[in-house]
Amino acid sequence: MPEWEGPERYTVISADCHGGGEIHEYRAYLPARLHEEFDRWVQGYKVPYPDLLGDNGKRNWDSDRRLRDLEDDGVVAEVIYPNTVPPFFPKASLTDQPPAANAGDLQLRWEGLKAHNRWMVDFCAATPGRRAGIVQIMLHDLDAAIEEVKWAAAAGLTGGVLLPGTPPGSGLVPLWEYDHYEPLWRTCEELGVPVNHHTGSAAPPMGDSLIDKVVFLTEVSWWAHRAFTHLIVSGTMDRHPDLQFVFTEQGTAWIPEECRRLDYYWARMGKAVGSQEYEWGHTLVNSMSLKPSEYWARQCHVGASFQRPAEAALRYEVGVDRVMWGSDYPHKEASHPFSREALQLTYNSIDPHEVAQMVGGNAAKLYGFDLDALAPIAAKVGPLVEQVYKPLAIEDIPKGADKCPAFVGLPGAVRVKP
Which DSSP string corresponds to 363-390?
A: HHHHHT--HHHHHHHHHHHSPBHHHHHS
User: In this structure, is residue 41 part of a structural domain?
Assistant: yes
CATH number of residue 336's parent domain: 3.20.20.140
User: In this structure, is residue 81 part of a structural domain?
Assistant: yes
A 10 A CB-CB count for 25 gives 16
User: In this structure, is residue 103 part of a structural domain?
Assistant: yes
Give residue 92's pLDDT: 82
* pTM across the whole model: 0.95
Give residue 213's pLDDT: 87
| Distance in Å from the first CA to the final CA of the chain | 29
The torsion region of residue 78 among left (phi > 0), alpha (psi -120 to 50) and beta comes to beta
User: In this structure, is residue 370 part of a structural domain?
Assistant: yes
Total count of residues recorded for the chain = 418
State how far Cα 411 lies from the chain centre.
29
User: In this structure, is residue 190 part of a structural domain?
Assistant: yes
195-198 vs 161-162, strand pairing mode: parallel
Give residue 413's pLDDT: 39
Q: Report the number of distinct structural domains present in the chain.
A: 1
Domain range enclosing 369: 13-417
Give residue 98's pLDDT: 56
User: In this structure, is residue 137 part of a structural domain?
Assistant: yes
User: In this structure, is residue 2 part of a structural domain?
Assistant: no
Give residue 103's pLDDT: 67
Give residue 412's pLDDT: 44
User: In this structure, is residue 360 part of a structural domain?
Assistant: yes
- From first to last of the 418 residues of the chain, give the pLDDT tens digit: 899 999 999 999 999 999 999 999 999 999 999 999 999 999 999 988 888 999 999 999 999 999 999 999 999 999 999 999 999 998 888 875 555 556 678 899 999 999 999 999 999 999 999 999 999 999 999 999 999 999 999 999 999 999 999 988 888 999 999 999 999 999 999 999 999 999 988 988 878 899 988 998 899 999 999 999 999 999 999 999 999 999 999 999 999 999 999 999 999 999 999 999 999 999 999 999 999 999 999 999 999 999 999 999 999 999 999 999 999 999 999 999 999 999 999 999 999 999 999 999 999 999 999 999 999 999 999 999 999 999 999 889 999 998 999 998 775 434 445 4
